[in-house]
Structure 1
Amino acid sequence: MSRRGPKHFAKLAFALADSEEPADTDVAGFHERILAAAPGDDLLAVWRRKLTAWDFEQSPSWSATTARTPERRAEVYDNLALDTDLRKAFDTAVPVHTEPGPVTISREFQPWYTREQAANRAFYWTSYERLLRRKGWGDAAVSGLDEAARAVVERLAEPTRDDPYGARGLVVGYVQSGKTANFTGVTAKAIDAGYRLVIVLGGTLNLLRGQTQRRLDMELIGRENILGAADPNDPDALVGIDYQDDEDWPAKFVSFGARPSDLGAFDIERLTSRDRDYMSLERGISALEFEKPDRTRPLYDPANLHAARARIMVVKKNKSVLEKLVKDLKKMGPILSEIPALIIDDESDQASVNTTDPKKWEDGKVTRTAINGQISALLKLLPRAQYVGYTATPFANVFIDPGDEEDLFPRDFLISLPRPAAYMGVQDFHDLDTIDGGEGEAEKKHVRDICDFTGTPLMEAESTGDRLQEAMDAFVLTGALKLYREKHSVPSGPFRHHTMLVHESVRMAEHAVLAERIRTMWRNAAYTGPAGHTRLASLFDKDFHTYADSSLPTPETYADLKPFISGSCQLINRGGSPVIVVNGESERDYAQPDLDFDRTPNVWKILVGGTKLSRGFTVEGLTITYYRRTTQQADTLMQMGRWFGFRPGYRDLVRLYIGREEQLGKGRNAKTVDLYEAFEAICRDEELFRAELARYAPLVDGRPQVTPAQIPPLVAQHLPWVKPSARNKMFNAELVEVRSPGKPIEPAAYPQDAVLTSRNTERWKSVLAALSGTSATCVLRPDETSPLPRSFQAATTVVPHAQLLSVLSSLEWEDGNVLTPHLTYLSQLDGRLAKVDDWLVIAPQRTQRNRIEATVLGQGPFSLSRRSRQSGKQSFGRISGLEHRLFAQQLIELPDSASTGSSFPALGATRGVVLLYPVVEAAQDDEVKAVATTGAAATDRVIMAFTVIPPKAAIDTKKLLVRFQTKDSARPDAVIVNAD
């Protein structure tokens, strides 16, 4: 069943048994064993693993159902011929994992990496999988990684193919979300399949490169490959071997039981070590020479390939290091064209992308930046090299010129990894569906303003008005809470590291001043005295006790926690200082033992730093962050989100102190920005980008709707802050039509010009007249988010399709018509593509307590809505209110039945929904009241914002959801050529 899918279980059990006749007692025994199994039962664990694997399997030969669905599970049960009781027992013990998997945008490719082939050659993947399970990974997590790694490997070129091909791909994860685990899995599967040279570009610092090397050594390469021929029991033989001073060696390093070559597999030779980057090879090129049992055949021939050792190196993205590697490879001669190679580029948007100005290029010649030039040289030397970039901020990569054949544009595939189940990300710090500036649950739990606007001094010795002292108190308090939880045997304990990050500036001089300030505050904090305990008790009661996770051990009173405070302080102040400054101009500045999370048993410190703490480097045990550094680069800002990540056993203790009124720039160009709002804005943009990828990823008639080359316009439309630096030829595709049956169309970037705003408002006059004086109660059906019905009041009317299309087509926009691709689709709903007769327009009212009303163009009065634009952008964070959007979606989803308790009739198949909001751009309600003072709102202050949801029937299912035009790259000034 492992390779060919689920079969009739009772018959298979009998066929494999020793008995001559099927015995009912055998099947009955299995039946009773499963029904009575405890969660840790070994037999149940085997079945949990197998059922999960079948649930996740993509397009298996034995099934036509979709992976990760109840339908797939039902088919598995049918094939196994399980009875109702067993199905219920398995459903309880092994629920179907319905969370989405990786999203893949890909060119068509020739399938070669079959399940059978993967199973036949899986030595290193199997070892890696076993290690992950020992680390506590669940079946769904392992199957998810297997699925995502397979999606990458199957899109690489087959290593044994005759004609060389180098695929280019990009894998997009989340900040601090475990991308290393994915590329470790990809590497394991790739070398099992036949790739024999792996080059991992591991950051721009030895600190980061060493982290990656250790991770691969520990989880993939393993003890026996690290030791080579050395006797692990002979101390003299181990001199100079890595990891002798590592507390995880050898227990936590994967072991195969013997040299892989002695077990019928192949060995891995490391060309770099934990402490040593790639050097010019002391043994000449012999370390890179590949043995060939049959010298008459090329290396990539199966007879040679699967007998050859693999070589792996983790190389810093440094010009001189890469030059040495390129120089050594050049010495190898023709064999280079025979080597199936894999290049993994971690943080691929950093240093790897060519950032030279195209205007300065000589005719016909591309000028490259240093690292980009060396990577391009590597790819030219290795025609069978596959390049896979990894990043959490992909926009620099997708804006690479696709026409530059020697560059790194992901022409073959882009894979967006799912958000891991236990990951703390944007949804844990930002309430993305709040629209009126209200504080949501995520913000209440985890986010604190840096400034104390009451002016109340936070302690007598430090009355600057900021909350750095409170943040430090929170650090001590959460350390004590971790110690308390360790004593009470929290499953995720013990907590090896406990850290706080303070990030205010990139300037090293300012880091020194800030570190000294923290040391002074620490000395004056009196944590074990009456004043300190009073402060900590107050903070515990008003914050950490209030938001504690009820499933984790938490003391009821500060008195119960007090005995653990001194232990927390001692660990933080060990060595005489609570602070480590993390900055520098050379590698030596980062060689700090206290900062080595791998070799130091317990790092309990406050880290003060800048750029070097903002990308790639994992701050282990990060619990408290104090952040106020500004930047105008969206990807830079996103990479600074070190507070994202996995926080087992203490996610309820995580706090982010972030600047809400920080100065960006100097002099006349200076402005005040809200860093929390800025983070939320770019997170929204990334979520929109991921949602667009997911929407267009499904194949139509077996072919991709979108290829990687068509991704840039998707970014450009939804992310106005992404500037391509005048590289117009990057946009080789232009989005011309988006079809949105049943999905909201909600432009957010409305004009800021008062004249345009006024003219756009005038164009809604006929609709406003129809809405005037109407009122209806909109009732939402109870669902899993709310067991009770909810309702809101609204003005409503129905307008013909032609009237709405006329209004939308007449609107003006400042930076091009953002509606154009949608209007192309909507205009065809007159019967050409599908038929829409009319639209239900709903103008929601705010609650009676918060309602501010005014007439607009003499119509109404209407309830004015308040919205704020995203930091530095034209766009608002969200237009439609959550309950309004849910109500509209209910009408769309069930067009043949009326909403329960509502005055609305059923929509039917040919009526869409429009949510319409008279919006005043304002941060506070007082500003809205000022607009409505006379009872009539000025048209230049009211933005008519809207969400349009076409009926689900408004689509020909045989049509693609998107359509593009392609620019002729040889004629950049020519008219656009239709790609169809």
Structure 2
Amino acid sequence: MHEVSDVRVALHQAVLGDMATSKPKRLQKSLTYQAEDIEPSDLARSCASEDDFRQTLREVSSTDRLVDMWRKRLTSWDYADGPSWSQASSRTEERRGDIYDRLELGPETRKLLSQLIPVYKTEAPVVISDTHREWYSTTELHGREWYWPKYLDLLSAKGWLDHAIGAVNDASGKVVERLANPSDPEIYQSRGLVVGHVQSGKTANFTGVIAKAMDAGYRLVIVLSGTLNILRAQTQRRLDMELVGRENILRGASEFESDYADDPAWAKGQFATFGALPSALGGFDIVRMTTSVEDYKSLLQGIVALEFEKQEPALPLYDPQNLHRSSARLMVVKKHKGVLAKLVKDLNKIKTPLSEIPVLIIDDEADEASVNTSNPARTAKRTAINQKISELLRLLPRAQYVGYTATPYANVFVDPSDAEDIYPKDFIISLLPPDGYMGARDFHDFDLPIDAEERTVANSNEKSHVRDILIQGENDDPCLQEAMDMFILTAAMKLYREEEGGLGAGHFTHHTMLIHESVRQSVHRELLGRVTKLWWGAGYTGENGHERLRRLFESDILPVSRARAKGEAVPSTFDELARHVGTALNRIGGDDQPIIVVNGDKDIETGKADFDKRPIWKILIGGQSLSRGFTVEGLTISYFRRSTNNASTLMQMGRWFGFRDGYRDLVRLYLGREEIVGRRKVDLYELFEAICLDEEAFRSELRQYSEPVNGEPQIRPKDVPPLVSAHLPHIKPTSVNKMYNTRLVERGSAGDWHEPSAYPKQTAVSDLRHNVNTWTSVFESLSTEPKEFSHPGDGRGKYRFSALTGELSATEFLKLVSDLRWSDDGVRFLPNLAFLKKITQGERPKVDDWLVLAPQHNLDNTFTLEVNGRSYSWFARDRRRESLFGAIGDPKHRPAALRIAGAKTEVGNEVTESMKSPRRGVVVLYPVVEWDNRLEIGESGDIDPGKLVMTFAFVAPASSQSSDGRVVRFEAIDSGKGLVIDVGE
């Protein structure tokens, strides 16, 4: 029977291998055909039937080798993007049904396969794309694919799950198919942006893109890898290890001549290998123009290394007869003016016409240094790195540019009409976080419907992973000491899991703590002294230190890990863990250097954070070098006090995001709750929460608008800038002067809470009075007694509030908001006004009336309307930049308003439920008194209407969504021609 099983595996392997480069085909016919080549033939024929396959599926487990082969192939078909053989969406039961139909499987076989190999139903990457020419398919490349299949095998060998490999295949394919065809005589430069998450595996995606692009014919790949040597070297090694391979690195040299001769992974055979140079095996070679230790340098001997071979000299390089017989060149280049200048100079010297070379430029951390930050209104001169990238794109007309970043705002605000800049005119692709990724949501309690007092380490991410840095005066040493104690305990926990939990010795290669308080080297010098003193004074081997660790284990580690370890080993007492503490201390400080400073200051740097060359169990002190792009391996404890007024920069400093295999429950984030940004005190936890919400909102908007309407994209990349928002007014997404190229004409906000912000300035007294008069009749019509609203809570306890209520007809509300005056002549409100007009006055009106809520609080903050003498609550709000208000509404008012407008499920409040109506919107009034005017209110509440700002929020009925699915309409400003182009119809 075992012999028959081996034959069966060989037979199905041949069948699935034949289908790998095509579509699913009739299984019975394929089995019969392949059985003729299997020996001995009588055994093969006995396995060559669907009946045999079905019987085998009844007997095997999900881990059987045969099932594993089928899982890989079914997953590949499940994830295929727009195949000719199926109209169903990827990763759906409908797609799987099409696969079974093509295989002509019977009902029971289908059922058994689906039980063993269910459809992995993750969402696909979000694509915002202009139309593109279809050219890329694995069918066309059949026989030419070399590096992509090898990369897939390597990912599988590393233990990647099939659906994760399928996701990389899908996402990388979406990028490559939007590049120009490298063998097309017509020249076209595609420019795109791939948006990942901080430390979420963007490199895996662009490695896949490079592999597929090279196989398709791209022959020069330039990877722009950050601004620091440490990041460039990390990226070079990753590409060399997973793509280039041993033979291309050595090129006939001795193993010991490799730049990785002292790299443990090289000695262990963990670099990709092909058995011989790919060109000797029918493939093509990759020539490295940079190494792990050498950035790009001016080439010698007539730039021979950059000269491309032509088998047919009379034909251009991009002709298939030359292209697929030429080696590819790869260089990983630091974004440095001098380095890029050398590259530009050398390219100008080579004999191969630059117009013939298909080039792929991958820009890692594309929002750093690459974007032109010079204000075009003040100077025509571009910033240095941007200028060099522009020169490369100008020199290399067949160059395709793909930027990668987790913080895309700077890139989407680039002028789309600037032909020499890097605006992603062709596509923006938003990647999903992979399985196992620990991101923003894992440290915050977004939308958690549990009262604050009922939250525990079992149901609250914040309580499990986040710890406050409490500062007494200027001293935070007690908190820093606790964080270091936690670092020791988690180190011991990792050792315990290796020994007691079955993970095996060496599972945790690295264990690190990162302290980030500043980018200034002088601060690092002082911090090194403090941390060193705390380490040697901690008394970890003495009674005091021992008891301190015991208390922290029992109060923190034990309850969190019991609730969140998810099967990982957890000691029941500190005594079970204690014997691993000594080993942990020895690993961290046994060389008398427990601390590594990574900041470029050679006088105080105490070691290298080279995670590739050796295991690192250390405390790291760093700033910019460790805050963008560079992966801090084994990061378990983060002590973070640095802030900024820029959301992109702050998010990139979130090194605690990433993959935490086997120790998610041990991760701790110590955050400053009262740090200074400019002149403002901020809570860093709330700051990160706000920018994480901004990021989620942006990605959500991209997903909403990515669905085509009548086969056409709703929006194109140039329409994306208005989708960027901010939850905190003092934190900008990126530089303001990059947000001037696109105007939003209409924005559908059905079921969304929206707050206008551009109210008249304090100096525009007549406009303020006009707005008060416009709203006066509404205030007069409000109920005399408030109603009580409540909601169980979505993050901050039970939400209760009182509000006066009233009603406006649809036409009354539209007339009212049309008559309001604004500080910007209504420019910012126009998109919303256009939407309100459409749902009120369109051919099919979608709103009947508006419920008006005027929240009342228990404070003495009231004003009196002269016309009726009634008092109403006012709210204290201040403006941000350009006289705009930031957040106006109170979060506790939102659930009731959203429920009444049909955008939220039942909240369990009778008052709220009684006011709900299918075509009803909600208006929430916020009379605002600004800081400078608070003393202007009389004892009886009298106030000059010119000192009162009548602000409001509104929620349009959820049922008012456009029937055709179109939710936005834009005007794009062509700054080069001075024209406005309506792109919404």
TM-score of the pair, normalised by structure 2: 0.85
Choose the corresponding residue for 2:582, options 561, 566, 570. 566
Question: Could you tell me which residue of structure 1 aligns to residue 13 of structure 2?
Answer: none
Question: Could you tell me which residue of structure 2 aligns to residue 234 of structure 1?
Answer: none
Choose the corresponding residue for 2:123, options 94, 100, 107. 100
Question: Could you tell me which residue of structure 1 aligns to residue 697 of structure 2?
Answer: 688
Change (3 A) 1:471 1:770: same
**Of 467-476 and 334-343, the range deviating more from structure 2:** 334-343
Change (3 A) 1:48 1:332: same
Q: Matches of 2:391 and 2:606 in 1, distance apart?
A: 34
Q: Matches of 2:485 and 2:162 in 1, distance apart?
A: 39
Change (3 A) 1:142 1:856: farther
Choose the corresponding residue for 1:379, options 380, 393, 416. 393
Deviation at 1:37, TM superposition (A): 3.1
Change (3 A) 1:22 1:351: same
Counterpart check, 1:276 vs 2:329: no
Amino acid aligned to 1:476: I
Amino acid aligned to 2:754: E
Choose the corresponding residue for 1:389, options 366, 389, 403. 403
Deviation at 1:609, TM superposition (A): 1.7
Choose the corresponding residue for 2:489, options 477, 482, 485. 477
Counterpart check, 1:702 vs 2:711: yes
Q: Does structure 1 retain, via aligned residues, the 8 Å contact 2:467–2:669?
A: yes
Deviations 1:825-851 (A, max 9, x none): 1211135253224246386999xxx99
Choose the corresponding residue for 1:606, options 598, 603, 619. 619
Deviation at 1:74, TM superposition (A): 3.7
Change (3 A) 1:978 1:259: closer
Q: Secondary structure at the match of 2:222?
A: strand
Deviation at 1:526, TM superposition (A): 0.8
Q: Secondary structure at the match of 2:266?
A: coil
Q: Secondary structure at the match of 1:105?
A: strand
Deviation at 1:244, TM superposition (A): 1.1
Q: Secondary structure at the match of 1:829?
A: helix
Counterpart check, 1:648 vs 2:661: yes
Q: Does structure 2 retain, via aligned residues, the 8 Å contact 1:779–1:887?
A: no
Q: Does structure 2 retain, via aligned residues, the 8 Å contact 1:737–1:962?
A: yes
Question: Could you tell me which residue of structure 1 aligns to residue 73 of structure 2?
Answer: 50
Deviation at 1:430, TM superposition (A): 2.4
Q: Matches of 1:327 and 1:961 in 2, distance apart?
A: 48
Structural mapping, 1:193-592, within 5 Å:
193-230=216-253, 237-250=254-267, 251-361=269-379, 366-433=380-447, 441-451=460-470, 466-489=478-501, 491=503, 494-548=507-561, 549-551=564-566, 552-584=568-600
Amino acid aligned to 2:397: P
Q: Does structure 1 retain, via aligned residues, the 8 Å contact 2:861–2:875?
A: no
Change (3 A) 1:624 1:934: farther
Structural mapping, 1:966-977, within 5 Å:
966-970=972-976, 972=978
Deviation at 1:698, TM superposition (A): 1.7
Deviation at 1:217, TM superposition (A): 0.4
Q: Does structure 1 retain, via aligned residues, the 8 Å contact 2:698–2:725?
A: no
Deviation at 1:268, TM superposition (A): 0.9
**Of 36-45 and 12-21, the range deviating more from structure 2:** 12-21
Q: Does structure 1 retain, via aligned residues, the 8 Å contact 2:443–2:466?
A: yes
Change (3 A) 1:901 1:435: closer
Q: Matches of 2:658 and 2:718 in 1, distance apart?
A: 31
Change (3 A) 1:397 1:532: same
Q: Matches of 2:975 and 2:358 in 1, distance apart?
A: 31
Aligned-residue identity in percent:
45
Q: Matches of 2:620 and 2:634 in 1, distance apart?
A: 12
Q: Does structure 1 retain, via aligned residues, the 8 Å contact 2:21–2:139?
A: yes
Deviation at 1:950, TM superposition (A): 2.8
Q: Secondary structure at the match of 2:752?
A: coil
Q: Does structure 2 retain, via aligned residues, the 8 Å contact 1:801–1:836?
A: no
**Of 474-483 and 316-325, the range deviating more from structure 2:** 316-325
Change (3 A) 1:334 1:309: closer
Q: Matches of 1:448 and 1:943 in 2, distance apart?
A: 40
Instruction: Kindly tell me the number of residue pairs found equivalent between the two proteins.
Output: 935
Amino acid aligned to 2:895: H
Q: Matches of 2:442 and 2:940 in 1, distance apart?
A: 42
Deviation at 1:598, TM superposition (A): 0.2
Structural mapping, 1:617-628, within 5 Å:
617-628=630-641
Amino acid aligned to 1:965: E
Amino acid aligned to 1:624: I
Deviation at 1:596, TM superposition (A): 0.6
Q: Does structure 2 retain, via aligned residues, the 8 Å contact 1:750–1:875?
A: no
**Of 466-475 and 22-31, the range deviating more from structure 2:** 22-31
Q: Secondary structure at the match of 1:597?
A: coil
Q: Matches of 2:772 and 2:91 in 1, distance apart?
A: 47
Change (3 A) 1:808 1:487: farther
Deviation at 1:968, TM superposition (A): 4.8
Counterpart check, 1:72 vs 2:95: yes
Deviation at 1:15, TM superposition (A): 5.3
TM-score of the pair, normalised by structure 1: 0.85
Question: Could you tell me which residue of structure 1 aligns to residue 4 of structure 2?
Answer: none
Q: Does structure 2 retain, via aligned residues, the 8 Å contact 1:579–1:605?
A: yes
Question: Could you tell me which residue of structure 1 aligns to residue 968 of structure 2?
Answer: 962
Deviation at 1:790, TM superposition (A): 13
Counterpart check, 1:714 vs 2:723: yes
Q: Does structure 1 retain, via aligned residues, the 8 Å contact 2:921–2:957?
A: yes
Amino acid aligned to 1:574: G
Q: Does structure 2 retain, via aligned residues, the 8 Å contact 1:201–1:317?
A: yes
Q: Matches of 1:908 and 1:81 in 2, distance apart?
A: 50
Change (3 A) 1:898 1:478: closer
Change (3 A) 1:824 1:435: farther
Q: Does structure 1 retain, via aligned residues, the 8 Å contact 2:694–2:727?
A: yes
Structural mapping, 1:912-923, within 5 Å:
912-914=920-922, 916=924
Amino acid aligned to 1:106: S
Q: Secondary structure at the match of 1:541?
A: helix
Deviations 1:864-911 (A, max 9, x none): 9999999999433985559927973994599xx9999999589786x1
Deviations 1:565-592 (A, max 9, x none): 111111111320211111125xx67997
Question: Could you tell me which residue of structure 1 aligns to residue 652 of structure 2?
Answer: 639
Question: Could you tell me which residue of structure 2 aligns to residue 458 of structure 1?
Answer: none
Deviations 1:67-104 (A, max 9, x none): 22333334434444555555554444434333322212
Deviation at 1:343, TM superposition (A): 1.1
Deviations 1:33-92 (A, max 9, x none): 324432321122222222222222222212222222333334434444555555554444
Q: Matches of 2:912 and 2:446 in 1, distance apart?
A: 30
Amino acid aligned to 1:127: K
Deviation at 1:632, TM superposition (A): 2.3
Change (3 A) 1:187 1:723: closer
Q: Matches of 1:401 and 1:153 in 2, distance apart?
A: 24
Q: Matches of 2:496 and 2:940 in 1, distance apart?
A: 60
Deviation at 1:663, TM superposition (A): 2.2
Q: Secondary structure at the match of 1:53?
A: helix
Q: Does structure 2 retain, via aligned residues, the 8 Å contact 1:165–1:384?
A: yes
Amino acid aligned to 2:65: D
Q: Does structure 1 retain, via aligned residues, the 8 Å contact 2:852–2:924?
A: yes
Deviations 1:680-739 (A, max 9, x none): 2222222222222222222222222222222223337989654886757x6332111112
Q: Matches of 1:490 and 1:874 in 2, distance apart?
A: 56
Change (3 A) 1:436 1:753: farther
Amino acid aligned to 1:186: V
Structure 1: gaps spanning 5 or more residues: 231-236, 456-461, 923-927
Change (3 A) 1:84 1:271: same
Structural mapping, 1:144-183, within 5 Å:
144-183=167-206
Q: Matches of 2:496 and 2:669 in 1, distance apart?
A: 22
Deviation at 1:379, TM superposition (A): 1.8
Change (3 A) 1:268 1:833: farther
Deviations 1:382-427 (A, max 9, x none): 1111111111121222222222212212122221111223211211
Choose the corresponding residue for 1:630, options 637, 643, 663. 643
